[in-house]
Amino acid sequence: MTCALLAPLALATCTQQAHIRSAPPASADGEAPRSALATALLPAASGCAPGARCLAVTAAGRPAATGNYVAQCRGRFADFIVPRTTLPAAYPGPWFQPSLLEQAATGVPGGSRPWLSFNPRDPAQRLGYALALRNYAMSSAVARALTPQLLADDDYRDPLGGSVTTAQRNQKWYPAPRMFYGATNAPGTREAAHGMTLERTVRVNELGGNTAAFQNYAVAYYDARGGRVFQRLWKTTTPGIDRPQPSGMKFTEGSFVFKLLYSAAPSAAFPQDLLAGSLRVEILPNPGGVPVPVRLMQIDIAVKDRRAGPTGWYFATYAYDVSQAGASPWTKMAPVGIMWGNDPAGAPLTESWINPAAPAYARAHLGVEGRLNGPVDNPASACMSCHSTAQAPALAPMLPTAACAQPPFRADWFRNLRGTTAFGRRQASGGACQTDASGITVTAADYSLQLSSTVARALPTATGGPTYNPCTWDENAPPSALVRPSADASRLQQRHIEQYEVTRDP
């Protein structure tokens, strides 16, 4: 949901996913099978969690003794592939170790979800709906692991949002795979400590009177329903090579994702520290391995809920409120509002609800005409507006620019598209907004920018080579040839159609 304006980047290389394969058992006669011997031949590295396979790889994920990157493999999907220089010498952890994505096919908890007890179309129930969503995310093992010292239920849950069953609290949560290949100090690439990616930079005097610009980082988690979509999306029959199946970019009803957004802003960046007492962690995004302290500023949630109408989704945003009572940073995350449509007709808005009790700095940083937007987001758009551009290939930026920012094209960013309807091509070029996508298959990504990004970055181009999966690599039978560009990718290159990097989500 957090819709930042990132500089549009041409995607010149195929960036297919790194999956992970567990070491196979020994054969009946006790001799290690051929694939296990191949695994042993892969170049080892240091800087990974104890018990994980730690491999030296190239920036493209290909195992190589001279590789300057480190891949952490525990299952079928890599946790991270990071430049070796981002890991401090004798780094003791923590390491990003999410639930294994291949397990997302099972373990979906039953029972009614707590937010279904509230009608978000009823103004009197919107705060309860927002708190029910927050309770569900904050009751997760992900949140509790970050604050193990907080043991009470009311450290994570507001009674106004209802309860969360034990099965739902204990379910596994999954980050989007393939958020690597490249420099971790560039947008959209995971670092090794907490799996965070660089997000939008907040400019001077944009938020709460900040006197200095500051960077922000985030990591998102999908519930078991959402995780299944990513798990089934990738064809991994060729060891070392993964291929997306874009037709699978659709979430089931009830799919849920939350995103934790942390700010690197020091207390001195504000006249009065907006984040005093907030949850603090250290991450490793930069060369040199110097940890960067960040504090929780914003939480975004998206849930597939048919009551939303045409879009099929409710988006919610929460901002840290230092004035809230209590010691828990989770219950200080005040709802900013919820959004279920883009209000195509404009003001007066009927498809965003803004919480009048949200912190002032967040209410002063809303989107276009007052649509829902978070503190880290770009106020030149809105939550669902950015996410409506989710598709593969990525043929439109998240925000209208240049010729595409003029009528009638600007209105395209405020349509109520169904999750199965692709945004289409909208690219400013030569003083015109290019809209012709004939001959190119464009598939909607159901309002998920991370889903769109990971698939778009995996589509081969006419000039780029593939990326590899070091965790399924078979040294005895490595991929024999580069992946041939798809017909669509060749057309993209030949017609000079630029793909845009999209990394903001959920």
Whether 197 contacts 219, CB under 8 Å: yes
| Cis, peptide link before residue 408, omega less than 30° from 0 | yes
**Predicted pLDDT at 35:** 46
- For the chain, helix (H) and strand (E) counts, in that order, are 9, 17
Whether 473 contacts 63, CB under 8 Å: yes
Q: How far apart are CA 114 and CA 93, in angstroms?
A: 35
Q: What is the mean pLDDT of the chain?
A: 88
Query: Does 148 score more than 50 pLDDT?
Result: yes
- Average pLDDT of the segment spanning 166-187: 93
Query: Which of residues 478 and 489 earns the better pLDDT score?
Result: 478
Query: Does 460 score more than 80 pLDDT?
Result: no
**Alpha-carbon torsion, ordered 317, 162, 123, 303, to 10 deg:** 40
pLDDT one-digit tens code per residue, 95-125: 999 999 988 988 899 899 999 999 999 999 9
Contacts of 148 (CB under 8 A, 6+ apart): none
pLDDT one-digit tens code per residue, 2-25: 454 333 222 222 222 233 333 333
Distance between first and last Cα of the chain: 5
pLDDT-derived band at 471 (thresholds 50, 70, 90) equals very high
Q: How far apart are CA 72 and CA 192, in angstroms?
A: 9
**Predicted pLDDT at 488:** 57
| Cβ atoms < 10 Å from Cβ of 463 | 11
**Predicted pLDDT at 494:** 55
Query: Does 273 score more than 90 pLDDT?
Result: yes
**Predicted pLDDT at 358:** 98
* H helix or E strand, kind and range, residue 295: strand 292-304
Residue 116 belongs to a domain: no
pLDDT-derived band at 85 (thresholds 50, 70, 90) equals very high
> What are the tokens at 274?
């907006």
**Predicted pLDDT at 491:** 60
Residue 181 belongs to a domain: yes
**Predicted pLDDT at 16:** 26
> What are the tokens at 34?
């051929």
Q: For tokens 């200095």, what's the residue?
A: 212
Backbone angles phi, psi at 414, to 5 degrees: -125, 35
- Average pLDDT of the segment spanning 64-85: 95
Q: How far apart are CA 200 and CA 90, in angstroms?
A: 31
pLDDT-derived band at 498 (thresholds 50, 70, 90) equals confident
Residue span of the structural domain in which 280 resides:
34-103+122-494
pLDDT-derived band at 496 (thresholds 50, 70, 90) equals low
Instruction: Find which of 7-21, 193-207, 455-469 is predicted with most confidence, using mean pLDDT.
Output: 193-207
pLDDT-derived band at 234 (thresholds 50, 70, 90) equals confident
One DSSP character per residue, 156-221 reads: T--GGG----HHHHT---BPPS---SS-TTSBT---TTT--EE-PPBPTTSSTT-SS-B-EEEEEE
- Average pLDDT of the segment spanning 365-388: 96
- Average pLDDT of the segment spanning 33-60: 81
Whether 174 contacts 98, CB under 8 Å: yes
Range with the poorest average pLDDT among 26-40, 114-128, 294-308, 399-413: 26-40
pLDDT-derived band at 94 (thresholds 50, 70, 90) equals very high
| Cβ atoms < 10 Å from Cβ of 354 | 21
Percent of the chain exceeding pLDDT 70 equals 86
Q: Which residues pair with 259 in a beta bridge?
A: 220, 300
Q: If 0-12 CB within 10 Å is exposed, 13-18 middle and 19+ buried, where does residue 423 land?
A: buried
**Predicted pLDDT at 11:** 25
- Average pLDDT of the segment spanning 216-226: 96
Backbone angles phi, psi at 67, to 5 degrees: -60, 140
Q: Tally the domains of the chain.
A: 1
**Predicted pLDDT at 458:** 76
> What are the tokens at 222?
């999908």
Residue 419 belongs to a domain: yes
**Predicted pLDDT at 41:** 80
Residue 166 belongs to a domain: yes
**Predicted pLDDT at 466:** 73
**Predicted pLDDT at 503:** 53
Residue 366 belongs to a domain: yes
Residue 16 belongs to a domain: no
pLDDT-derived band at 461 (thresholds 50, 70, 90) equals low
Q: How far apart are CA 177 and CA 199, in angstroms?
A: 17
Question: What's this model's pTM, rounded to 2 decimal places?
Answer: 0.90
- Average pLDDT of the segment spanning 409-421: 97
Q: How far apart are CA 201 and CA 75, in angstroms?
A: 34
pLDDT-derived band at 457 (thresholds 50, 70, 90) equals confident
Residue 477 belongs to a domain: yes
Pick from 447, 450, 295, 453: nearest CA to 376: 295
Whether 334 contacts 354, CB under 8 Å: no
Residue 502 belongs to a domain: no
